[in-house]
Amino acid sequence: MRIRQGAVVLLLSSLFLIPAADAAPDAKACLACHASMKGNIEKEKGVLVNLNVDAEKFSKSVHGSFNCVDCHLSFASQPHKGPAAPVDKAIQDLAKALSLKSKIDPVAQAACVNCHPDPYAAYKTSVHGQNVMVKKSTDGPVCTSCHGSPHYIQARPSTESKVYLYNIIVTCGTCHEEKFMSEKYGFSPLVMERYLESFHGRKLKLGHTGAPSCAKCHGSHGILSAKDPKSPVNVANKKATCGQPKCHPGATDKFVAAITHKPLHPVAHFTEIALIILTVGTFMFIIIHVLLDIFADIRDRLFRKGDHHG
C-alpha cells in the first residue's frame, strides 16, 4: 500500500518537470520521454525514425551540455510545439538543400553550421557538398554521415569518434568500397583494400603515429576529386602532399607513383603469381625431402644397424 502511494506521489511530482510551453525546455525534460522510447516511427514512406536517445551516452558526448532545441529548432509535426523563435532563413534554405540526404530532421542537420561555420564553408565547395547540395545526389555525405549521430559525437582524438585516425578508414569505406560508386565516379574499386595492404595501412594498424589514413592526404571537409587540379592528391600536387617535412621530404614524381590505390598492374600481378609458384614449389620440395630423410633415418636406425652415423 505504501509503495503504491509512493508511486503516485512520484508520478504526480514528475508533472512539475514538464515545462511551460513558452519556456525553452532543457534536455532533461525531453529525455524524460525520449530516453525510454522503443521502436521506430515512420516519418514518411520508407523513412524510419528512432526517437530514442541514450541519455547517458548523450551526456558524455561533446554535445552533452546542449539543450535539444539548440539544434532541433522546429518540429515538423505534433505533438510538439517548436521553440518560440522562428527558424533563421539561411538555416531553412540549407535544410532544404540537405533534405534529400537528411530526411529525419534536416533543420537540425543544418543547425550544425551555427557553431561550425568553417567546416561548412569547406564542405560547400567540396565534391561531397556539391554532389548533395547542387547536384541533388544522394551519393554524398552530410555531417552526420561521417561524424555519426550528434547525440553521441566524440572529439576526433577519441577512439570512439567515427573520424578518429583508425576509424575513418571504415567510415570512408562505407561508400568508397561500394562498387557502383567506383564505377560512377571513376575511382579505383579497390581503394580500401589497396590502402590497407600498403605500408601506410599496415603501419597505421600497428600504431605508427606518422602513418596517414584517408583524410591526411585527401583532406576532409573540403575534399575534392583527385581529378580536380586543386586536390592535394592531384597529379600536380601529389609531390607537395607526400613531401611534407614529417613524411617524405624531397618526394619526386617517380616516388609519389608508389601510392595510387589502383588494382595491381599486370606486371606486378604476374610477378606475384610467379613468386607464389616458386615459394610453394620450394616448400613442397623441402618438406618432402625432410620427411623422406626422417623416415630413412628411422629406417636405418631400426633395420640397418651400424650403417647410420650417430
Partner 1 sequence: MDKNIPQEIERFDLSARIQHIIMFTTFLILSFTGWGLKYAYVEPSSTWINIWGGPRMAGIIHRVAGITMLLDFIYHQFYLLNLARKRDLRLTIIPMPKDVVDLVHNFMYYLGLRKERPYFGKFSYLQKFDYWAVYWGMFIIGTSGFFLAFPVTVSALFPTFTLGWIWDVLFIMHSDEALLAIVFILIIHFYMEHLRSDVFPMNWLWLTGKMSVEKLKHHHPAEYDYLFGPKSKKENK
**How many C-alpha atoms does 61 have within 13 Å on its Cβ side?**
19
23 near partner 1, rule: CB under 8 A: no
Tell me the C-alpha distance between 231 and 237, whole Å: 7
Identify the residue among 159, 249, 302, 305 touching partner 1 (CB under 8 A). 249
Distance CA 74, CA 196 (A): 43
Considering the complex, what minimum distance in angstroms separates the CB of residue 249 from partner 1?
Answer: 8
Task: Give dist(CA 169, CA 162) in Å, integer.
Answer: 9
- Cβ at position 284, least distance to partner 1 in Å: 11
Give least dist CB 308 to partner 1, A. Answer: 8
Instruction: Say how many residues make up the chain.
Output: 310
Residue 58 CA, chain-centre distance (Å), reads 19
* Residue span binding partner 1 (CB under 8 A) among the ranges 3-11, 27-35, 214-222, 262-270: 262-270
Q: Does 206 bind partner 1 (CB under 8 A)?
A: yes
Number of continuous H segments (helices) and E segments (strands) in the chain = 17, 2
Of 166, 161, 255, the residue nearest 203 (C-alpha): 166
Measured from the CB atom, is 180 or 295 closer to partner 1?
295
For partner 1, the closer of residues 117 and 210 by Cβ is 210
Report which secondary-structure segment, H or E, holds 217: helix 214-218
Name every residue whose Cβ is closer than 8 Å to that of residue 284 and which is 6 or more positions away in sequence.
none
To partner 1, the closest distance from the beta carbon of 217 in angstroms equals: 16
Interacting residue with partner 1 among 132, 297, 302, 305 (CB under 8 A): 297
* One residue of 93, 118, 178, 272 binding partner 1 per CB under 8 A: 272
Smaller CB distance to partner 1: residue 13 or 209? 209
Give the chain's end-to-end CA distance (angstroms, integer): 92
The answer to whether residue 275 forms part of the interface with partner 1 (CB under 8 A) is: yes
CB neighbourhood size of 246 (10 A): 6
Tell me the window of 61-69, 166-174, 176-184, 248-256 that interacts with partner 1 (CB under 8 A). 248-256
Q: Are 240 and 246 in contact (CB under 8 A)?
A: no
Report the amino acid identity of residue 17: L
Is residue 245 at the binding interface for partner 1, with CB under 8 A as the rule?
no
Q: Which is nearer to partner 1, 86 or 210 (CB)?
A: 210
Residue 126 and residue 4: Cα distance in Å, rounded?
60
Shortest distance (Å) from residue 295 CB to partner 1: 7
**Is 279 a residue that touches partner 1 (CB under 8 A)?**
yes
Name the grid cell of 157: 582524438
- Number of neighbours of residue 154 by Cβ within 10 angstroms: 19
Residue in 119, 125, 203 with CA at minimum distance from that of residue 153: 119
Q: Kindly state whether residue 277 participates in binding partner 1, applying the rule CB under 8 A.
A: no
Site for partner 1 in 67-126 (CB under 8 A): none
For residues 180 and 285, which CB has a smaller minimum distance to partner 1 in the complex? 285
Question: Would you say 204 or 223 has its CB closer to partner 1?
Answer: 204
210 sits near partner 1 (criterion: CB under 8 A):
yes
Residues at the contact surface with partner 1, assessed by CB under 8 A: 196, 199, 201-203, 205-211, 248-252, 254-255, 257-259, 264-268, 271-272, 275-276, 278-279, 282-283, 286-287, 289-290, 292-293, 295-297, 299, 301, 308-310
